[in-house]
Amino acid sequence: MQERGEISQIDAKANIKKAFRALAQIKSEDKGPQPNFYEKRSIKLFATRVIIQAIGRICRTGWKNPDIYIYADNGICECFDSSTCNGFYNIEFLKLAELLKDYAEVKVEPDIFVDAAVTRSNKVLRDIDFMLQTNWNNSTMNRWKLLRDYVISHTTVSTADAEGNPIVQNYYIKAPSICSSLYFKEIGDYKELDVSFEPKKGYRETSAEKANLTKIMQFAPLKKYFESNNYSTEFKANDYIMTPPLWTNIYKGALGEIAGSFLFRDWFKVTLSEIDDPAIFEKFDYQITDYPIFVDFKNWSESFDLKKRETINKILKKAHDCKAKCVIVANVFADARFKLECVTEDGICLLVVPSLLSEEDDSIKENLIAIKKIQEVIHAYSV
């Protein structure tokens, strides 16, 4: 049932635990009203199969009475799935099915989309965590790049385009009706997610606005660049939408990388090389070709606190791994204004740029202060 998306991973674990406790005759805690799994389609299909087999056994003979009487309790209506009645069955079962059809039409439960979304999201969460927590190799690097290249051009997907597409079938969510956003929150210490198609208190939104795409596309050169490369410039209302882990861990980062790298090449006339060495893959996004300068583009909506010792240590360790002399951490756009921060420690220069673009008079423009400082740093470490 969990694999079909009819129940969430949390409900599946809770009920497996409850079943083992019942087997061991251990009383389970009363946690209030629980979902009625007997209304789920998998249970109804199982019950329908039992009915088919039962009638089939009693009718498996060439010698039959002219009249055959089958006594059926009206409770069968509640667990019978009439969608199975299109096959080749014996006439006794088909007659029973005909009588039950008016009472047992298949109904799609509203929660089935939510349960499927939760199941899919938690699978993607575990998959992405696995890639991030283990050493990179050519296989995981290629999968990461494939996902990154796909999501930047497909923020949402139609049913026609989803058919036969393994990325959509495994990393996107089918919505009950076309949508351009959804909502999620993390649950407990288990790194599990709950998903909703409607706004809820305490839930985060996945959308063009929350990814800063709407603001970034107000900068004309970037919008023209996105359009010329067939990158998504909006979250069009559609049948499928990215799972929250895909949106958080891959799409937002990809958006920052593509927008930021375009601005660097356009403003500073530098050549950026992608990092393909598995030992340092995803430590930073790019290296300025032929120079010990590494760049990490971000897509935050909040500030970057450089005062935290652990933050500096983490970046310095990655810089040493890459043999960098200078690291530029550049956020593409932030709503609020934050100061540039630059420190030099252990022979490594660390420049943090909170926003490459700034909002002035309701328009998005270049952050001239940031551009000047980045030019100074690039010049200092490229001679």
Residues 191 and 227 in one domain: yes
Whether 304 maps to a domain, the answer reads yes
Residue with token string 């599946």? 12
Q: What is the pLDDT of residue 283?
A: 94
What is the CB neighbour count within 10 angstroms for residue 244? 27
**SS3 sequence of the chain:** CCCCCCCCHHHHHHHHHHHHHHHCCCCCCCCCCCCCHHHCHHHHHHHHHHHHHHHHHHCCCCCCCCCCCCCCCHHHHHHCCHHHCCCCCCHHHHHHHHHHHCCCCCCCCCHHHHHHHHHHHHHHHHHHHHHHHCCCCHHHHHHHHHHHHHHCCCCEECHHHHCCCHHHHHHEEEEEEEECCEEEEEECCCCEEEEECCCCCCCEEECCCCCCHHHHCCCHHHHHHHHHCCCCCCCCCEEEEECHHHHHHHHHHHHHHHHHHHHHHHHHCCCEEECCCCCCECCECEEECCCCEEEEEECCCCCCCCCCHHHHHHHHHHHHHHCCCEEEEEECECCCCCCCEEEEECCEEEEEECCCEEEECCEEEECHHHHHHHHHHHHHCCC
Residues 204 and 279 in one domain: no
Where does a domain end: 205, 234, 264?
264
Residues 196 and 174 in one domain: yes
Whether 106 maps to a domain, the answer reads no
- Regarding beta strands 341-345 and 192-196, do their DSSP bridges make them parallel or antiparallel, or are they unpaired? unpaired
Contact 256, 299 (CB under 8 A): yes
Q: What is the pLDDT of residue 88?
A: 58
Q: Which two tokens stand for residue 216?
A: 């970034």
Give me the domain span that covers residue 291: 270-383
Whether 82 maps to a domain, the answer reads yes
Q: Report the alpha-carbon distance of residue 69 to residue 140 in Å, rounded.
A: 62
Residues 32 and 137 in one domain: no
Q: What is the pLDDT of residue 334?
A: 82
Whether 116 maps to a domain, the answer reads yes
Residues 92 and 29 in one domain: yes
Q: What is the pLDDT of residue 264?
A: 97
Residues 239 and 120 in one domain: yes
Residues 357 and 251 in one domain: no
Where does a domain end: 229, 264, 299?
264
Which regions in the chain score pLDDT beneath 70?
3-5, 8, 28, 30-36, 59-62, 82-89, 102-111, 188-190, 301-308, 335-337
The overall pTM is greater than 0.85: no
Residues 122 and 231 in one domain: yes
Residues 121 and 247 in one domain: yes
Whether 366 maps to a domain, the answer reads yes
Q: What is the pLDDT of residue 256?
A: 96
Q: What is the pLDDT of residue 16?
A: 84
Task: Name the residue among 262, 259, 132 with its Cα closest to residue 191.
Answer: 132
Whether 365 maps to a domain, the answer reads yes
Domain count, the chain: 3
Whether 4 maps to a domain, the answer reads no
Q: What is the pLDDT of residue 147?
A: 97
Whether 3 maps to a domain, the answer reads no
Q: What is the pLDDT of residue 151?
A: 98
Contact 51, 78 (CB under 8 A): no
Residues 260 and 117 in one domain: yes
Residues 125 and 230 in one domain: yes
Residue 144 exposure: Cα atoms within 13 Å on the Cβ side: 23
Residues 241 and 279 in one domain: no
Where does a domain end: 205, 235, 264?
264
pLDDT 10s digits, 269-295: 999 999 999 999 999 999 999 999 999
